[in-house]
Amino acid sequence: MSEILERTRTYVRDNFLYMRPDFLLGDDDPLLAKGVIDSMGVLELLSFLETEFGVSVPDEEVTVANLGSLSAIARFVAAKVLRTEAA
């Protein structure tokens, strides 16, 4: 899970925080409330998660609980990867 977290953190920093190099983003910080990701950004993030980790995310799973912070994303993706591997 820590690898998923690190790769997602790097992706978010390079794509959504490149204009704010001093921005401190904690693993549990809310991505939406802190203005890191907007609605178009969610689409980009989904595309990244699907290609990078080989998971599929249907619309109903696009929620703050699943994608609201770096740690939430890591938990969500790790669980999906596990389920995919188990299947």
For another protein (CB under 8 A), the number of binding residues is 22
CA–CA gap between residue 82 and residue 87 (Å, rounded): 9
Q: Please, what is the minimum distance in Å from the beta carbon of residue 86 to another protein? A: 28
8, burial (CB in 10 Å: exposed 0-12, middle 13-18, buried 19+): buried
Please, which of residues 40-59 interact with another protein by CB under 8 A?
A: 40-44, 46, 59
What is the rounded CA–CA span in Å between residue 33 and residue 67? 12
Of 20 and 82, nearer to another protein (C-beta) is: 20
Contacting positions for another protein (CB under 8 A): 15, 18-21, 32-33, 35, 37-44, 46, 59, 62-64, 67
